[in-house]
Copies of this chain bind each other. A is one copy, B any other.
């Protein structure tokens, strides 16, 4: 099939479903949560009914791959869904998508023995939360370098059990609706059963262990604690608190990735989410543009013509429009390549990283440019512009930060002897 940008019927269906979901389900939740103080536990909890309703529409099942019994579609469809939701109500949306991220390590690495962990998310009932529990209070960007400290959350094998201890932070959904633990946590941790041997690198010890709410409950009081709810300037209904695991014992069957395999699966999960962060950026830019052009058509700042007739204003707007179009095209390209090639995984992955970095930084700049164009009205919290900026500002720094991790991964890819710059577009290059 040739290069094509038309939505197929299935993609069109995703688009229409997403529009309805965003406007009819997510947007009303905003009215509700705004009644509670920003970042308060109550604000997060107020979104549970919306989350439950979204689950009942199959949204979680749709984030599980068919290989595991889900109805997950293509990455392009996910990108369409994410853009649409982020253009309308990003905060409630993130809680939903974060469960998707929490399930991604299972999508990538689960064997038949892990089927039970998928079950609650396949049921279409309730409001189960999953979480990829990766980040730590002191950061992890350099933890896996030679000489790095590795993850500070540790796991120790003790007979047929693993014992997990350590602090995590920023893992969306990790504490569940009642802050006693989410339904399923993919905890990225470091095996300390034996010390790092000569020749080993920190990543050789990285593993992923599944911790369910039942595991935490069984371990009892004090095994999992929320140390602090983190207040943030945007995404104010989202929960990703600073938490501590203390000697949480789980059975061996909970090991999703044994030592040495955890880093690849964790980063593989972020490769997929990279594309979706690209779509988040597109959604925010689109919302900012739409709000600004509506403003510019009704407002004249006292002049004789609508604001949009001013070149200085128009150029800021068209600049954002172009960035948005480029960002979406890149995101789609990356989504398609990740699943269909051409090129090997490294080549495809480079596009995913590019979508994350490019779109996230473009989104921050776009919101800032739009604010400058709109002028002082944009400083009014009754207008959407400030919230858009404060939502966008996390895109470059969460889901593995651009400067510390994403750009470094791009550099590592370029450094490989097998690097083939345009393989994800034209196929592997032929030496001449």
A76 CA to B1 CA in the complex, in Å?
14
Tell me which residues from 322 to 345 in chain A have a Cβ below 8 Å from any Cβ of chain B. 322-323, 325-330, 332-333, 336-337, 340, 342
Indicate if the CB atoms of A330 and B321 lie closer than 8 Å: no
The answer on a CB contact under 8 Å between B377 and A139 is yes
The residues of B that contact A357 with a CB separation of less than 8 Å are 318, 322
Given A303-B141, A393-B386, A415-B309: A232 and B375 within 8 A (CB)?
no
- Complex formed: what's the CA distance from A379 to B410 in Å? 24
A44 vs chain B, min Cβ distance (A): 15
Whether A143 and B321, one on each chain, are in contact in the complex, defined by CB atoms closer than 8 angstroms, is: no
Let me know if A317 and B414 touch, CB within 8 A. yes
A318 and B381 contact, CB distance less than 8 A: no
A325 CB contact (under 8 Å) in B322, B351, B361, B398: B351
Expressed in whole angstroms, the minimum distance between the Cβ of A397 and any Cβ of chain B is: 5
Q: Interface extent on A, as a size class?
A: 35 or more
**A interface with B by C-beta (< 8 Å):** 1-8, 10-11, 15, 23, 37, 39, 76, 135-136, 138-152, 170, 230-234, 286, 289-290, 293, 299-318, 321-323, 325-330, 332-333, 336-337, 340, 342, 350-351, 354, 357-358, 361, 364-365, 368, 371-382, 386, 389-390, 393-394, 396-398, 401-404, 407-408, 410-411, 414-415, 419, 421-422, 425-426, 432
A136 / chain B contacts, CB cutoff of 8 Å? 302
Would you call A7 and B2 a contact (CB within 8 A)?
yes
Question: Closest 4 A-B residue pairs measured CB to CB?
Answer: A142-B303, A143-B302, A2-B8, A139-B301
Query: Which residues of the partner chain B approach A397 to less than 8 Å between Cβ atoms?
Result: 371-372, 374-376, 378-379
Query: Which residues of chain B are within 8 angstroms of A230 by Cβ–Cβ distance?
Result: 379-382
Given contacts A310-B311, A312-B312, A396-B372, contact A138 B379 (CB under 8 A): no
